[in-house]
Structure 1
Amino acid sequence: MAKSYYKICVLPGDGIGPEVTAEAIKVLRATGLEFEFLIREVGGSSYLKNGDSFPKEAREACEMADAVLFGAVGHDYAPYDIPRRVLDYLRREKDTYVNLRPMKLYPKIECPLKLPEGRGIDVVVVRENTEGESVKQSGVVGDRVGSDMRIITRFGSQRLIRFAFEYARSHRRRKVTCVDMSQLLSGDKLFREVFDEVAEWYPDIEKDYRAVDVAAMHLVSNIESFDIIVTSNLYGDVLSGILCGLIGGVGMAPSACIGDRFAYFEPVHGTAWDIAGKGIANPIAEILSAKLMLEWLREEEAAENIEQAVTMILEEGKVRTPDIGGTSTTSEVGDAIARKVEELSKR
């Protein structure tokens, strides 16, 4: 049940994270819902200041919040794994086993594909987020051999695949495609077996299969054949990367990391230090991630207002950042979307 007041933990992180999360907060305020934003510093910048990339006050804010809005972490002056400790908490400790990545081509965004007249791109990737290659079992033997263990379990596969079918049903989607390499890999054979078992519970949803290499090919040659893709960790990351290239880049790609009782929401992009502080980062991925957060909180009307606002602003074509062919600043895009959301919320 939706509430009238939400406590949101905001973890801006590093690079462009603080810039884009500020615009998402602006848009959330414009919905007319009541929020308390608990903004906490994490990542490389926090580590460099106080030696802790995920301080106690940040963890406590996550625990008391209704949801977490996340930017990005990573810093050249901090060891790679240290800023990412916050992700260990958000993903593994909080067991956010679903990485939901809705990939949509918005109006007047250039696509490298020649799409049929009136056809767009609207593909949802449901990617496993806690198993597969993310299991920390790897190493290097001498200087000649590197190894990485990949774990796929029946339990993990079943809950992920069930989420994909439930999402299809609740969002009136027609088909779920299982992407794997079950002809070669034991873990993928198990994943396919579980997919078939779960699909029997959803006779109203079409089931489909692709090998991962064929799926990659079809994303650029037959994209209309996809609706929802459910797949393991690494495959999902690669396939959604291809999709990012088709919808305007990572600045247009939101994501949600969802568990049974906890979720956080982040753009697909990283810290992008090359443009940090220049005021040109595209905030739309973060804003659309905030929209996914509202959906998870069952604030469907406010979420739809954000969706419509983004669509309308891009359709007008006047306000957009350089990565999608414009000259606007990060804050100008956020301002325009927030104004449109406010207008829609008053109707």
Structure 2
Amino acid sequence: MIPRQNQSWVSEFILLGFSSDPMTNSILFIVFLLIYLSSVLGNGLIIMLVCLDTQLHTPMYFFLCVLSLLDMGYVTTTMPQMLVHLLAYSQTISFAGCWLQMYVFGALGIIECTFFVVMAYDRYVAICYPLRYTVILTWDLCIRLAAGSWICGFFSSLLHTFFTMSLPYCGPNRVNHYFCEGPSVHSLACMDTHLTEMLDLMLDLVLNVFVIITPIFLIVASYICITKAILKIKSTQGRCKAFSTCASHLTVVTFFYIPATYVYMRPNSSSSPERDKQVSLFYNAVTALLNPVVYSLRNKDIKRAFLKAMGLGRVDL
């Protein structure tokens, strides 16, 4: 690592964003503002409906409520600042602000990864052990699973963020991204030893195995068991209903994991900053927008609760 003497240490970073053209930025501001507001309102609506409607006070909808809360926090960590930078002349962020954004974004991302496993387990119990569903998934267990995901996420992100921001940043401070994402900031570090690079590679490997590979494996294993249980159902209507309860979760998991896996598990030699920005925008903002749409359009209970809240509870779905 470069010694600290005779170095000009970075006190702020410049986020390059998507474009330097004012007209393009104005158009992007309108598009991203609509995406952000739709994401917050959609997820907020789901949280409100689950809290107000007693018929939705079940483990499945409790987990959906937590997921919506995660999505709101996830998109709020990056989008408001990006919207300001699209219209502002200055696109700087302080070192401490970058540290905090990277930490919170990483923590919520890890929580969402682990929470998808919790939701897969919920579907596994509901389909494979329907008669024991409420006995197995007690409220105490649901709260423990949710709290465990949050604790795990914030602790894991602290380790990675602390290591990244403790690297020497002695000159370049232009981050080719719209927010402080780990790989983009890390590429600016002034490193001259193989030891630092090796430690970083080992840390990334451990986190990737823990955050991406292990959850995907557990989710796939859960759905293999679910598929076997569904195939044992004799009636076609029963099978369709069982598959329908899992379709929303599988859709959301796919939209989240494919771009996240691309960004964090590909070789550094094949990285493209412009493509990374587009992909990260998808799993950050677009996924948060799609989640309430996917769950509300495919879920009669959510639609019923919405109509009830609007005073149209007797309208047939």
* Bigger fraction of residues in helix: 2
Q: Which has the larger radius of gyration?
A: 2
So what's the TM-score if we normalise by structure 1? 0.24
* Bigger fraction of residues in strand: 1
So what's the TM-score if we normalise by structure 2? 0.26
